[in-house]
Each structure stands twice: as C-alpha cells, then as structure tokens.
Amino acid sequence: MVTTIPQTPNTPIQSVLIVGNYCHDVLLQGGAVVAETLGGAASFISNVLTGLSVSFHLTSKVGVDFKYPVNHDPIVVPTSKTTVFHAYFDQGYNENAHQDRVLKRVQVCDPINPSDLPDRKFDFGMAVGVGGEILPETLERMVEICDAVFVDIQALIRAFDENGTVKLVRLKESGFYHLLPRLKFLKASSDEALFMEVEEVRLWCCVVVTHGKDGCEVYWKDGEMKIAPFGANQIDPTGAGDSFLGGFVGGLVHGLVVPDAALVGNFFGSLTVAHIGLPKFDLRLLQRKCMLSNILQGSELCGSLCWKLGRIKEEVQTRKVQGTCWLERRDDE
C-alpha cells in the first residue's frame, strides 16, 4: 500500500517543484470577451499550495508581455511572448475538446528545457504543462531530481491543430510513454483518460481520474477506490483539475494517505469552479463550506490557512468512501 510519512508540528514541510508555464487566459462567450485572467496549471497549483502553507519552487516561462503580478517570478524570455489560450464556451463539443469549452492556443512561449530546472533535489515534482512546454527530456530530468513525480496527463497528450485548437493524442504516441514506470502518479480527467489504457498504465504508476461533480477515482496495480465529491455551483471549470492536483499533493506533503489527500483535492477543485480565474483560499471561504466545517473546528489556524489536515480522515469516514484497504508502502515500490 502507498502511504505517506506523517508530519509532526516540528517536521519541516517537504519541498515541491512545480514545472509549467504561466499563461494569459481569455474567456469568450457569444463572440464577446467575458474575462481575462492569469492562467496555466502552475498558477492554480501554486495558489493552492500557498494556501496550504507548502513551500515550493516554480519553474515557469513567460514573454516580455506578461501582465500579471505573481509571488513566484517566472523566467522572462526576451525574444518570446507569453502563452495565450482562448476558451470558447459556446462552440459545442467535439471528441478532442472539453465538453464545457473549446480551447485554442493563440500564442505560445518557449518550452521549458532541462537546463531551466534548479540544480537541487526535491521531495515532490509536478509536471503541469498546458501548452506543450514540457519536453520528454525535461520530464526525465524531473525524475532524476525529484523523489516522487506527479504528472498531469494534459502536459503529455495535448497537441494543437493549424488553428491552435487543443487536440489530444494517445499516450502511447506522445513520446512520454517510456517514462511511466518512473512516475508515482498520473492524473487525468475522465475525457483525457480515454486516450490511455488505464488498466495498463496502472501497472506502472498510480492513476487518478477526476470526474468533476462526481469526485474522482484512484487506480493502482491491485485495486481502485472512489473518492466522494464536494458540491459546487459551477461558473467556470478552468483550473478545477489543476486545483485538485494542488490539493492532492498538498495533502500528501502534510502526511495524509492517498484517499484522504484525494478528498482534499476534490475540495479545492469544487472551490475553483465557483470562480472565474484564481479563487482566494481564505479561512472565511472555507468556513462557508459546511461539509468541511468539522475539519476546521478545533484546528489551530496560523497565517493564511494552516489547519490540521489529519482531521480529514474523519470526513472520509462520514462520507463512507468505498474500499476497505489502501496500499502499504514497500521499499521496492
């Protein structure tokens, strides 16, 4: 079974490396611009980890036109422009697009090279590209410097047609398939999971498939488990999967076992869809989420959002998450 080492109050929070470019996101409906926001999986994930008081290093590239203030400075490429995505919410559904929107990459920044990564070791690495910026050799370098690597499959299987519309290719054809045995977790949405053989991939690494309002499922070599969702009033789905992954890894960093960490991921994903752009994860917002109130009660809250994530185990029990056991960590796995 895969578990994590519990953290004590005197144990320093483990280090995390996030790799993925910041973007400019433009939301359109009816031919009109609805909103312009900071985008990119790295922005949503760093937002969650900051809220959970997890230290991290961010490697991200932007162009000279980057226009948003951020807490972790990106690498500015003087000869490039920032990646820009247009999200169309009224163009219907096709087999390679999200059901809720059609994404187009209208501008692209330089890819992230292995030499752009810091020359140090990390406990956790997160490969979360959205515009094709993560190269196979970059992911291989992450595996070398990070003890456990988490990958969002969109970083591996996204392709772009002549108009910049996001298409998906099969994982086996992506150029990354040979690295799967060296990964710890691969996260995919239910749409993206159709482009890989889950039954095969789960033999190499743990697979987490998100189902939006229906929560998520975790697959490992010898079993699987469904994790209950949190209710949400969806306004914009952008970044929900990214926030899920941030909450999931944040939970593991704080010492939770995988099912409990996945529940944290579901929680942050539910908060994100209720906002346009990056949500603010403050105490008042969490207190308004009645389903998490029993986790927060009695916790010592220091700074932005330091709460006892271990209490989430009680929530797991009350939600009667299916499954009777989890993986135990073994030295050879």
Q: What is the DSSP string of 178-229?
A: GGGGG-SEEEEEHHHHTTS-HHHHTTTSEEEEE-GGG-EEEEETTEEEEE--
Phi-psi region of 204 (alpha: psi -120 to 50; beta: other; left: phi over 0): alpha
CB-CB contact of 309 with 57 (8 Å): no
Q: Does 78 map to a domain?
A: yes
Catalytic (active-site) positions: 242
Distance CA 188, CA 241 (A): 8
Q: Does 52 map to a domain?
A: yes
More confident residue, 72 or 287: 72
Q: Does 183 map to a domain?
A: yes
Q: Does 287 map to a domain?
A: yes
Which CATH number goes with the domain that contains 202?
3.40.1190.20
Q: Does 312 map to a domain?
A: no
Average pLDDT taken over every residue of the chain: 80
More confident residue, 234 or 179: 179
* Tens of pLDDT, residues 73-109: 999 999 999 999 998 876 554 444 445 678 999 999 9
Average pLDDT over residues 174-194: 96
Which residue range(s) make up the domain with 279?
A: 16-297
Q: What does residue 217 show for φ and ψ, rounded to 5 degrees?
A: -130, 140
Number of domains the chain is built from: 1
- Of the ranges 40-49, 55-64, 83-92, the best mean pLDDT one: 55-64
Q: Does 332 map to a domain?
A: no
Dig out the tokens for 141 from the structure. Answer: 């370098």
Q: Does 318 map to a domain?
A: no
Amino acid of residue 157 = I
